[in-house]
Amino acid sequence: EAQVTQNPRYLITVTGKKLTVTCSQNMNHEYMSWYRQDPGLGLRQIYYSMNVEVTDKGDVPEGYKVSRKEKRNFPLILESPSPNQTSLYFCASSLSFFRSTPDTQYFGPGTRLTVL
Amino acid sequence: GQNIDQPTEMTATEGAIVQINCTYQTSGFNGLFWYQQHAGEAPTFLSYNVLDGLEEKGRFSSFLSRSKGYSYLLLKELQMKDSASYLCAVRLQLPGNTPLVFGKGTRLSVIA
């Protein structure tokens, strides 16, 4: 089954304790991205990747890191989490961002992160 | 900066038609998406417009006017399961832009 998976789905942690949220897709998609969703603010892009070893900042990259060493995986790293990073995080992928066809993004199920 | 506006909330009656508007002011427009998101779940793709006009897909239609920076999503024969948030998202040309910018979403409540 074609899907985007994220782990963990729920995480409660404390300020400063490094964590990684994994994201994996099995559709051979080139484009992957991370979003956070907060009440009243909508979905905001954190980082994106056009292909392996190519990553770029989105609108809210501060406090986050990503890597794209292989096509299927795009982990999100919080080196020193803070309470303002408490949010719902979504990973998404699509075949290619540059196509003019409705190259829709497929979203993972989300990771609800609480930083105390 | 990029700006996308949608109404925050709407209420409509089961069986009726509802239109959700989206206006945008962006640089380097390269397509507009509509997504549906049920509470606590991931967004799912509904429609895509890159040229002016109406795209119809079953009970859902989406319209785009690039000159007006305007789109709407039309939902017909509303069902209770259509209660969800509807997200308008604009794809932007690269380089120099964030690839995809979302509006804050419109929460639709369908009542009996």
Per the model's pLDDT, the better-predicted residue between A97 and B107 turns out to be B107
Distance from CA of B111 to the nearest CA of A (A): 23
> Under an 8 A CB cutoff, do A107 and B42 touch?
yes
Q: Which of B4, B100, B101, B107 to mutate to test the interface with A (most CBs of A within 10 A)?
A: B100
On the CB side of A39, CA atoms within 13 Å amount to 4
> Under an 8 A CB cutoff, do B42 and A43 touch?
no
Strand partners, B73: B20, B62
> Under an 8 A CB cutoff, do B101 and A108 touch?
no
Nearest to A104 by CA among A36, A1, A2: A2
Name the DSSP letter for residue B72: E
Q: Is the dihedral of CA B43, B48, B52, B57 positive or negative?
A: negative
Residues of B (19-78) whose Cβ lies below 8 Å from A: 30-31, 33, 40-45, 47-48, 50
Task: Note the pLDDT tens digit of each residue in A65-75.
Answer: 999 999 999 99
Give the separation between CA B12 and CA B18, rounded to whole angstroms: 7
> Under an 8 A CB cutoff, do A43 and B41 touch?
no
Q: For chain B, what percentages of helix, strand and coil (3-state, to nearest 5) are there?
A: 5, 60, 40
Residue of A nearest to B89 (CA): A43
Give the separation between CA A91 and CA B104, rounded to whole angstroms: 18
Task: Note the pLDDT tens digit of each residue in A26-85.
Answer: 999 999 999 999 998 989 999 999 889 999 999 999 999 999 999 999 999 999 999 999
Task: Note the pLDDT tens digit of each residue in B52-79.
Answer: 999 998 999 999 999 999 999 999 999 9
Instruction: Phi first, then psi: give them for residue A84, nearest 5 degrees.
Output: -75, 0
Q: What is the pLDDT of residue B96?
A: 64
